[in-house]
Amino acid sequence: MSWGRHIAPGQDNRKLPEVQVVISPLHPTRNSPCLAVLQALEDGLKRADADPSVKAVTICGENGKFSAGADIRGFSSPNKQGLGLGPIVSLIERSEKPVVAAIEGIALGGGLEVTLGCHYRIAHVQARMGLPEVTIGLLPGAEGTQRLPRLIGVPAALDIITTGRHISASEALKLGLVDEVVEENTVEAAIRLANRLIGQPLGHRRLSLKPVPKLPNMEAFLTEALVKVKKRAQGCLAPELCFQAIKAATEQPFADGVRKERELFNILLTSGQAKALQYAFFAERAVEKWTTPSGASWKTASPQPIRKAAVIGLGTMGRGIVTSLVKAKIPVVALEQDLEYLNTGRKAVMLLLEREAMKMEQGGQTLDFNNPARLQFAVDFDVLRDVDLVIEAVFENMALKKEIFNKLSRICKPEAFLCTNTSALNIDEIASVTSRPQQVIGTHFFSPAHVMRLLEIIYGRHTSPTTIATAMQLAKVMKKVGVVVGNCFGFVGNRMMFPYVQQAVFLLEEGSRPEDVDQVLEDFGFKIGPFRMSDLAGLDVGWRSRKDQGLTGPTLAPGTSARQRHGYRYSPLPDLLCEKGRFGQKTGKGWYQYEKAGGRTAKPDPWIHSFLSEYRDTHQIKTRFIDQEEILERCLFTLINEGFDILAEGIASGPEHLDVVYINGYGWPKHRGGPMFYASTVGLPNILAKLQKYSEIHPDVPQLRPSAFLKKLVAMGNPPLNDWMSYLHRQSNKL
């Protein structure tokens, strides 16, 4: 047989023995090429249809990649590319000649929707597929919500569309999403299949003509599924609208379902959440390209290989870090101070690893951790002589950390990197006790360290670009999002968290209850409010830090006012709770009460209510009703205000860094794009006005005083977030 042409956008048609219509290569980062790809697909199909010598069609991608879908940046431009894809998918499906998709690399979003129009799908064994639109605040809007349930049934389609997860070729085969998985050349296999299909009926392969497979209990299934989808979504609109589109497929004919899909797609497109989620997608990729004020970046530094690592301290953080390293296939030595601590730590690590191994097995992967070459436990520092990198994860105490770093500096080989998992302490001070401050860096993990994606990477005054590059590479290998930031108390995350939590506590002094404050912030979209979070983390952690800072405890100067420190407002409420042994979940009591010590279900505690009332009486504070708006503004705007100071000081190189930290480490709702993106949507003049108002009411709270950088940006006319940093050093004659 000799038919066809190879039709690729921007290429001359080449004579080939078979037909291929080549679609978008990966990297659909521009708007226009995507429109060109759509046009090329349409032209190719029409030409194939009109050419009697063409008997079948194969659709594939270029360079071994089917398609990553539409250019996400295009969705926020007025010329919304991708919108014309649905009719093209229909055109493919209507073809009288068999059309076979050859899926190599990835087929995502619009790319996978193209394959759903094809009559047959063949995938390479290493291909990955998915409809990730939900993760960027959209739904598969090229008829994918109507075709996929018809192909693989409602439960599987619901799972794939509402989570946006990528699936492997073998899972796709099991689900019936693809007809065949091959290890050889996929395009050749597709052409062979296309040849075999010539002349065969295609009606039963046109998904739009098929009914959605019935379930015995469809209504009950959908009711239950909606509850689950909403719970997972936590205020994000896209999963629920994806659900509605699929539900429409179960209730309406194909054409009506497509109309519903289009209607829901347009709601999402203009919702604001899609814009925030797409910003978050690019922000995560932007922080990967780190730079420092001195100009260091990937361009100037190469990461060093980490063949063996060590973790010191097997408390909660150390256990999670060891687990992450083992999962990343980096041989690791876990060190504790004595055998008793080591054995407790070892048991806990093994339990975590067993659970992780089980989860991985479900996805067809294995985790090898019972091999001493992979994981070794020790109490003797001497075993650290040959490691390439050490992560210290001991108690948050400067003297202890310095003692350990001094020892590490003497024992570890000269080229080894020394990392500290401090959440706030000065990296330079820790580095000062070593003979290699250029190889000392902060690696701030978030609890549970084997689950949370964020890794705050803190460079000190002497940290070398190679050390930063190595820590960033380590983050990548551990499948974490590394964010490079400068050294200051609390770095980015905890420094911004401090005024947020402080306001939450001040609100309790003035009349709110912990559950009121938590509710407002959870309704905003935080996974967990500040008081539930404090109970989870343990109130004693902050108490210890305040004692170290001389803010409370025995070192506090006699006669210090209960509610003032250094002339500013201070709330002793958390200290008072700790003095009563209320450390949170671990003691069964904190800002809430729990069923038992270690319990997880927070219940409002009448004891706390009367304690707060007595406290207000003692300090002659008039209890007042505080509305949701004030709770939200005081907590969020002080956090954002601190963010502007952080940017002005050069601690982070852009607002994206702060947003990525908050989304991945602090449960900030991703569909609100991070605190600085949220600020840009509220409008900087509004934030400034509110901060000015609250600052006038509370002149003894410096965190409410608007940041000079915020004021400058407002004076400069409230520029878009992308331009903020360019105003940092510009003169403003309005200030």
Ligand X SMILES: CC/C=C\C/C=C/C(=O)SCCNC(=O)CCNC(=O)[C@H](O)C(C)(C)COP(=O)(O)OP(=O)(O)OC[C@H]1O[C@@H](n2cnc3c(N)ncnc32)[C@H](O)[C@@H]1OP(=O)(O)O
**Least distance to ligand X, CB of residue 658, Å:** 19
User: How far apart are alpha carbons 447 and 346 in whole angstroms?
Assistant: 18
Using rule CB under 6 A, residue 105 touches ligand X: no
Q: In angstroms, rounded to a whole number, what is the distance separating the alpha carbons of residues 68 and 110?
A: 8
Long-range interactions of 323-327: CB distance < 8 A, separation 24+: 323/349, 323/352, 323/353, 323/356, 323/449, 323/450, 324/445, 324/449, 324/450, 324/478, 324/480, 325/478, 326/353, 326/367, 326/369, 326/374, 326/375, 327/356, 327/360, 327/367, 327/450, 327/478, 327/479
- Interface residues for ligand X in 427-446 (CB under 6 A)? none
Measured between its terminal Cα atoms, the distance across the chain in Å is 77
At 731, give phi and psi (nearest 5°): -75, 140
Q: Choose one: 107-115, 655-663, 666-674, 687-695; the region binding ligand X (CB under 6 A).
A: 107-115
Of positions 83, 187, 283, 647, contacts ligand X by CB under 6 A: 83
3-class SS of residue 682? helix
Decide: is 13 part of the binding site for ligand X (CB under 6 A): no
Binding residue for ligand X, selected from 29, 39, 217, 549, defined by CB under 6 A: 29
Q: Of 159 and 288, which has the nearer Cβ to ligand X?
A: 288
Q: Could you tell me the CA-to-CA distances from 86 to 82, 107, 140, 247 in Å, in that order?
A: 8, 16, 10, 19
Alpha helices in 211-272 (DSSP H): 218-233, 237-251, 254-269
- Which sequence positions are flagged as catalytic? 113, 133
Give the three-class secondary structure for 181: strand
Question: Please, what is the minimum distance in Å from the beta carbon of residue 142 to ligand X?
Answer: 4
Query: Which is closer to ligand X, CB of 24 or CB of 587?
Result: 24
> Is residue 193 involved in binding ligand X (CB under 6 A)?
no
- Of these, 25, 69, 98, 673, which contacts ligand X (CB under 6 A)? 69
CB closer to ligand X out of 18 and 104: 104
57 binds ligand X (CB under 6 A): no
CB of 681 to ligand X, least distance (A): 22
Within 8 A by CB and 6+ apart from 282, the residues are 72, 73, 656
Cα distances (angstroms) measured from residue 690 to each of 505, 630, 633, 635: 19, 10, 8, 12
Q: Which residues of 9-36 are buried (b: 16+ CB within 10 A; e: fewer)?
A: beeeeeeeebbbbbbbbbebeebebbbe
654 belongs to the binding site for ligand X (CB under 6 A): no
Q: Is 25 in the site for ligand X (CB under 6 A)?
A: no
Q: Does residue 386 sit in helix, strand or coil?
A: coil
Which CB sits closer to ligand X, 76 or 371?
A: 76
User: Should residue 701 be labelled a site residue for ligand X when binding is judged by CB under 6 A?
Assistant: no
98 binds ligand X, rule: CB under 6 A: no
Least separation in angstroms between CB 513 and ligand X? 42
Near ligand X by CB under 6 A: residue from 28, 320, 499, 529: 28
164-200 burial, b for 16+ CB within 10 Å, e for fewer? bebbbbebbbebebbbebbeeebbebbbbbbbebeee
- Nearest distance, CB of residue 18 and ligand X, angstroms: 27
Shortest spacing between CB 393 and ligand X, in angstroms: 28
Q: Which of 132, 239, 331, 655 binds ligand X (CB under 6 A)?
A: 132
Q: What is the dihedral of CA 118, 120, 123, 129, to 10 degrees?
A: 50
- Nearest Cα residue to 501 out of 458, 531, 464, 471: 531
**CB 40, CB 8: distance < 8 Å:** yes
The two structure tokens encoding residue 707: 């940041």
Least Å from the CB of residue 143 to ligand X: 8
Nearer to ligand X, 161 or 222 (CB): 161
Q: Does 609 bind ligand X (CB under 6 A)?
A: no
Which CB, 208 or 571, lies closer to ligand X? 208
| Tokens 């080549």 belong to residue | 22
The residue from 3, 66, 120, 265 that contacts ligand X (CB under 6 A) is: 265
- Sole binder of ligand X in the list 40, 106, 647, 651 (CB under 6 A): 106
Among 412, 450, 445, smallest CA distance to 310 is for 412
Q: C-alpha dihedral over 591, 597, 601, 606, to 10 degrees?
A: -40
Strands 57-60 and 20-22: parallel
Q: Residue 477 Cβ, how far from ligand X at the closest point, in Å?
A: 13
**String of contacts with ligand X for each residue 483-502, x by CB under 6 A:** --------------------
Q: Which is nearer to ligand X, 267 or 632 (CB)?
A: 267
Within 10 Å of residue 399's Cβ, how many Cβ atoms?
Answer: 9
- By CB under 6 A, is residue 114 in contact with ligand X? no
User: Does 302 contact ligand X by CB under 6 A?
Assistant: no
Binding residues among 542-561 for ligand X as defined by CB under 6 A: none
Tell me the number of residues near ligand X by CB under 6 A: 24
Q: Does 674 bind ligand X (CB under 6 A)?
A: no
Does 660 sit near ligand X (CB under 6 A)? no
**385 vs 257, 333, 388, 421, CA distance in Å?**
65, 11, 9, 20
State the minimum distance, in angstroms, from the CB of residue 688 to ligand X: 32
Binding span for ligand X by CB under 6 A among 22-30, 175-183, 487-495, 610-618: 22-30
How far is residue 472's CA from residue 484's CA, in Å, rounded to a whole number? Answer: 8
> Is the distance from CB of 241 to CB of 139 less than 8 angstroms?
yes
Separation of alpha carbons 87 and 373, rounded Å: 56
Question: Of 678, 723, 724, which Cα lies nearest the Cα of 273?
Answer: 678
Residues in region 336-365 near ligand X by CB under 6 A: none
CB of 485 to ligand X, least distance (A): 20
Q: Is 318 in the site for ligand X (CB under 6 A)?
A: no
Contacts (CB under 6 A) with ligand X, residues 708-727: none
Site for ligand X in 134-163 (CB under 6 A): 136, 141-142
Applying CB under 6 A, the span of 82-90, 443-451, 524-532, 683-691 interacting with ligand X comes to: 82-90
- Residue from 109, 320, 590, 706 that binds ligand X (CB under 6 A)? 109
Q: Least distance to ligand X from the beta carbon of 163, Å?
A: 13
CB-wise, 86 or 318, nearer to ligand X? 86
Q: Kindly write down the DSSP assignment for every residue of 305-322, as one continuous string.
A: P-S-EEEE--SHHHHHHH
Footprint of ligand X on 276-295 (CB under 6 A) = 282, 285
Positions touching ligand X (CB under 6 A) are: 27-29, 68-73, 82-83, 85, 106, 108-110, 132-133, 136, 141-142, 265, 282, 285
